[in-house]
Amino acid sequence: MGLDKHGRVAVVTGAAAGIGPEYAVRLAQDGADIAIADIEAADETAERVRATGRRVLHRSVDVSDPEAVAGFARDVFAELGDVDILVNNVGISPYNLFEDITLEEWRRCMTVNLDSLFLMCKAFLPGMRQRQWGRIVNVTTSACWMPEVPRMSHYVTSKMGVVGFTRALATEVGPQFVTVNCVSPSLVRTPLLEQRLTPEWFQEMVDTQSIKRVQETADMVGAVSFLTSDDAAFITGQTLAVNGGNVRL
């Protein structure tokens, strides 16, 4: 199934719930062994990965904490070996009016959504450059290009930073044949968002799309599978919008 990744090792952050588990399982189906970093327990995702026949390591990790990331990296190298693929999926999406956002809330959003990318790439990118092969996929959001995004100034700022980080890093690591790209989902139906948002929110997003249905987690996995494959070797620094056509880049 999917694009062959036998012999590869993939790290996926935020794979305990939401879209992350689908990335991890799809990459395992493609043939990769999987390492999961999430502050929450990822036992269920790990079982799904094992069911594909691939090896899996999962740790409870705050990916915005340098020491925690360093410890996780040591475990991955010891148990699974060199890392070829990194999917920086972890993120938080707080909602608050700008006037009510505290500096602490602002900094937490930047720390989780941006510092985590920096730390994970610091941990796993050197090996990719040394071996002259690597795939990094960062997750941003279509909200960055939507005309109206109330109560999300901190979130949108952080996710636009993901795009800038992707573009800049792609320039530096391209000579070593490491690619760095973004995927940009729309409003994806996950259990957490269904708890936070009303059905009307999802319908309003559907109304902006060319494909008239709610985006599901499964809609994202093909793009990540492709961007982490050999077939995507000449694609880097790009943002791929996977959003039913609600914004077009």
Catalytic positions, please? 155
Tell me if residue 181 falls in helix, strand or coil: strand
CA–CA dist 28, 94 (Å, integer): 31
Buried residues in 174-185 as b, exposed as e (16+ CB within 10 A)? eeeebbbbbbbb
Half-sphere exposure for 45 (CA within 13 Å, toward CB): 31
CA–CA dist 108, 121 (Å, integer): 19
Tell me if residue 91 falls in helix, strand or coil: coil
Question: Which H or E run contains 10?
Answer: strand 9-13
CA–CA dist 209, 148 (Å, integer): 15
With tokens 């109206």, the residue in question is 148
DSSP string, 94-151: ----GGG--HHHHHHHHIIIIIHHHHHHHHHHHHHHHHT-EEEEEE--GGGG-S--TT
Q: Which amino acid is at 4?
A: D
Please report the sign of the dihedral spanned by the C-alpha atoms of residue 215, residue 60, residue 156, residue 183: negative
Rounded to whole angstroms, the maximal C-alpha distance in the chain is: 50
